[in-house]
Amino acid sequence: MATRNDYKIVRDSSIKLLQLAFNNSQNLTTLDDVQKARLGFYHLIIENTLGFQQNLDNQNVELVDTSLTKIIDVNYNQKLHNLSYPRMDDYGIDVVNLEEISSSEVNINLFNFKYRADFSESHIGDTDISRSTKFLDMLFADDLPFDESENKYTHKVINFLKNYTNSDSKYVCNIVLYMISNEANGIHENSYSYVKSLEKRYGIKIQSITLDNIMSFYDTRNRDKSAKFIVSQEDLISFNLDNQTSNLSFIVKLPINELIRITSSDSDFSLEQNPSFERWKKLPLQEIDHSLLYDNVRGYLGDTNYNKKIIDTLKDYSGNFFLYNNGITIVAEQIESDKQINKFEIKLNNYQIVNGGQTISSIFKFLTSIQITEILSAEKINELLEPLFNSFILVRLFKVPQGSELKNLIAEYTNSQNAISDLNLKSISTIQIQIENHFKQHNIIYARKAGDVGDSVVNPIFRIGMDDLAQIIYSAQGNPEKVSSQKKKLFKDYYDEIFPKDTFDLDEALSLAKLTQEIRQEYNQKPIYNKTDQKIYYIVYLVQAHSLSILEAMDILEYALKTFDVNLTETRKLIQVKFKALLDEIIA
């Protein structure tokens, strides 16, 4: 259950993210802390649910690579961007995200935010949810595009989305409405029927994200976490990681109830030997220890098809769970085994789940469906818990010393078999950790993971994301036209070129990061030019490749944009090889 202190952590992180996103902006000086927290709350949630986003704060409504994310909340745009259009209205939706996942399918995520200025144990109710129905009605209306001469920005976004949602569109749309709140509780049970009716009416899913979910974003790692469990001799295989050590690692067939016990937030429970029936019957009340998942390369992804299958297997085919699931991987600083008669007692200390976070999170979600009351008989309780006691999971246990690169490699290679972004996989690599530490020495936050506000950096000068640095470096190497249209390749096909293992220069990366910050500040001081991330990457290229000043590069870039193919938008121009060639020709 979320607490008042959780509320304060989210509040302070929201303020910090806003200040880092709008570094030196005069608009922040007019806001009080409550307003900063409310507006920064958008950035906190967007990063932690969607990952790093680009062009979030300009009004260009078109895909960059295969995605688009826009904040359309009226208050946000008035306060931070000085936008003012006739009849401004966001129709109850604050953030819109679209991702093309194939030539015939898209994911559309709509966000409705509610930020409370004080801690509250309230729920999300019918009134909160109904605010978004006007937007949904407009989105699914099969009529002409909405007039963009009034309520310009919101109508522009809706018209863009309607290209996908109209009945004559070729796209299948997977639409989720997220109700976001910094309250302690999610959607009230009295609103469940209303939610179901809206889901059926619009063909969408409605989910809530509240304090408990948000707190799972944070690194609250308990480095002294310990656990014990007993397995039979035939359910355990031991082996050495190498021939030079006697450090044993294990592969274990573990009952699901035991997995829940050692991954729960109850530290005493994880060490108990042979818990009593009274203890086990409270199993559905256990909560996951999110700190165990911190080194995992992704958080819980919600109701994906994969996670639903995990829950359905436990519900309907628990006896086959061991066969259907890939299992989990745990690394620990210490693993001890004590052989007893036909069984082993295994002790873990300072352990982390580096693969299998989705499985663990889904198992704990399944727990919430089990309702045990005092009036139930022992027989009925056993029946309810039976899927957990009679199902098993494959657990790989690796003993890895603290600070060893082996842990990061295990995490990367075991997760590479799953649907995880290449950026997340590389975030735990040694070179990325080195960059983070080097930038920290210069009071710069290097965010390897979305939502990182750099708590260990004192008086940060600015914040730069891992994806942003990759695009900056690749632009400086002569490829500004590729960094937006081929963004997904940066951490796969081009990664070794951008971050060469043996020759990567930390000081050069730092210099480029600082240059980019200077370019952003110049754009802020020269509002006649529309600032976009794509333009900034081109300026980096021009300054580095042609030894221009920032202002000279800005003027040349704007001139080229005006003279190159008038039928294309700026976004489309900037990804053309011919446009880059034109720039080089102008300078030559």
What's the pLDDT tens digit per position in 469-516? 999 999 999 999 999 888 888 988 999 999 998 899 999 999 999 999
Three-class SS state of 84: coil
Mean pLDDT of 181-198: 92
How much is the mean pLDDT over the chain? 87
DSSP string, 218-277: S----TT-EEEEEEEGGGEEEEESSSS---EEEEEEEEHHHHHHHTBS-TTGGG-SS--H
Secondary structure of 174-194 as H, E, C letters: EEEEEEEECCCCCECHHHHHH
Angle at 24 between CA 21 and CA 30, to 5 degrees: 95
Task: Quote the CA–CA distance of 131 and 200 in Å, as a whole number.
Answer: 17
Comparing 59-68, 178-187, 242-251, which segment has the lowest mean pLDDT?
242-251
The yes or no reply on domain 4-215 and CATH 3.40.91 is: yes
Task: Quote the CA–CA distance of 399 and 56 in Å, as a whole number.
Answer: 42
> What are 417's two structure tokens?
């078999």
Task: Quote the CA–CA distance of 151 and 87 in Å, as a whole number.
Answer: 5
The whole-number pLDDT of residue 242 equals 55
How confident is the model over 204-229, as pLDDT tens digits? 999 999 998 888 776 555 567 899 99
Cα-based distances in Å from 571 to 55, 143, 533: 11, 28, 10
> What are 321's two structure tokens?
């769970």
The two beta strands, 172-181 and 205-209, are: parallel
CB 141 within 8 A of CB 209: no
The whole-number pLDDT of residue 76 equals 95
The whole-number pLDDT of residue 86 equals 81
Q: At how many degrees (to 10) do helices 305-316 and 357-367 cross?
A: 50
Say whether pLDDT at 305 is over 90: no
At 172, is the pLDDT very low, low, confident or very high (cuts 50, 70, 90)? very high
Task: Quote the CA–CA distance of 447 and 451 in Å, as a whole number.
Answer: 8
Three-class SS state of 419: coil
The whole-number pLDDT of residue 300 equals 46
Mean pLDDT of 48-67: 81
Task: Quote the CA–CA distance of 164 and 323 in Å, as a whole number.
Answer: 39
The whole-number pLDDT of residue 417 equals 46
Task: Name 274's Cβ contacts closer than 8 Å, sequence gap at least 6.
Answer: none
How confident is the model over 528-545, as pLDDT tens digits? 888 889 999 999 999 999
- Residue 97's nearest CA partner among 138, 151, 55, 145 is 55
Q: How is the chain split into domains, by residue range? A: 4-215, 226-415, 422-587
Mean pLDDT of 83-93: 89
The whole-number pLDDT of residue 415 equals 59
Portion of the chain with pLDDT greater than 90, in percent: 47
Say whether pLDDT at 101 is over 60: yes
Say whether pLDDT at 295 is over 80: no
The whole-number pLDDT of residue 246 equals 41
Q: At how many degrees (to 10) do helices 430-440 and 405-415 cross?
A: 120
Angle at 205 between CA 134 and CA 18, to 5 degrees: 70
Instruction: Name residue 113's amino acid.
Output: F
Q: How many CA atoms lie within 13 A of 108 on its CB side?
A: 23
**DSSP 8-state symbol, 124:** B
CB 178 within 8 A of CB 49: yes
Instruction: Name residue 65's amino acid.
Output: D
Mean pLDDT of 299-308: 59
Burial class (CB in 10 A: 0-12, 13-18, 19+), 175: buried
Centroid of chain to Cα 188: 25
The whole-number pLDDT of residue 245 equals 39
378 membership: H or E segment, kind and range: helix 378-389
Sign of CA dihedral 8, 10, 11, 16: positive
Most confident range (mean pLDDT) of 78-87, 96-105, 266-275, 292-301 is 96-105
> What are 76's two structure tokens?
């946000």
